[in-house]
């Protein structure tokens, strides 16, 4: 009986040790991932300026900058989906706008089982739909062609929300280390600034 108890204790200890090793490995890989993202943000900082905040080596870095008169923040989020854990890169711009609207990927909405009924699909970019109040004109000088070109340059993305106090833009990251490299980050920032110029 004592021998059986000892064997059971050994099994428990082995399982405990395996769990500790897995925990260390997961956190090490997580650190490597965020270290790569941090390094990419440092290169962006070197190129256009800004400031990077990171509370610990395991936490996600956050980038802040006032660039071309726009208050910009880049941060990261994640969620568990049916296909596993998904990571997202989020851009926010602190600008004031008269109107509010949301442009979302139809596929992204369907994957989240959200209704697309309130969205008007773009004729020239049918992967995306726009939700807005009534029939407000969101563009300066009805610059629809330029607007669609800008959206194509931002593609792919989950959603673009334009509110009274700013812009929120989210894109899925298939590979955080690769998707946060320049010129991708700089191009996204510059393209969002072009978007600001054509909307009211």
pLDDT of residue 140: 62
Q: Which domain holds residue 187?
A: 2-198
Percentage above 70 pLDDT, the chain = 88
Residue with more model confidence, 5 or 41: 41
Strand partners, 62: 53
Q: Would you place residue 164 in the very low, low, confident or very high pLDDT band (cuts 50, 70, 90)?
A: confident
Query: Residue range 166-174: average pLDDT?
Result: 93
Count the domains in the chain: 1
Radius of gyration, alpha carbons of the chain: 22
Query: Residue range 36-63: average pLDDT?
Result: 88
- DSSP type of residue 119: P
Highest mean pLDDT of the ranges 25-29, 97-101, 182-186, 188-192: 188-192
pLDDT of residue 31: 77
Residue 140 is encoded by which pair of tokens? 């300066």
Cβ distance 173 to 88 under 8 Å? yes
Q: In whole numbers, what is the pLDDT of the chain averaged over residues? A: 85
């Amino acid at each position: 009986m004592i021998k059986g108890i000892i064997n059971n204790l050994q099994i428990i200890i082995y399982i405990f040790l395996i769990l500790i090793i897995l925990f260390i490995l997961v956190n090490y890989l997580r650190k490597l991932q965020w270290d790569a993202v941090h390094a990419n943000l440092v290169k962006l900082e070197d190129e256009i300026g800004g400031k990077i905040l990171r509370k610990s080596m395991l936490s996600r870095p956050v980038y802040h900058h006032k660039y071309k008169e726009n208050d910009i923040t880049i941060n990261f989020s994640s969620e568990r989906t049916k296909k596993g854990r998904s990571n997202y890169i989020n851009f926010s711009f602190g600008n004031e706008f008269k109107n509010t609207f949301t442009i979302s990927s139809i596929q992204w909405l369907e994957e989240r089982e959200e209704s697309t009924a309130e969205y008007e699909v773009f004729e020239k970019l049918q992967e995306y739909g726009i939700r807005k109040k009534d029939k407000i004109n969101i563009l300066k000088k009805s610059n629809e062609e330029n607007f669609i070109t800008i959206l194509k340059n931002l593609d792919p993305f989950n959603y673009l929300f334009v509110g009274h106090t700013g812009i929120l833009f989210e894109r899925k990251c298939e590979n955080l280390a690769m998707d946060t490299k320049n010129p991708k980050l700089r191009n996204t920032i510059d393209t969002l600034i072009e978007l600001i110029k054509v909307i009211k």
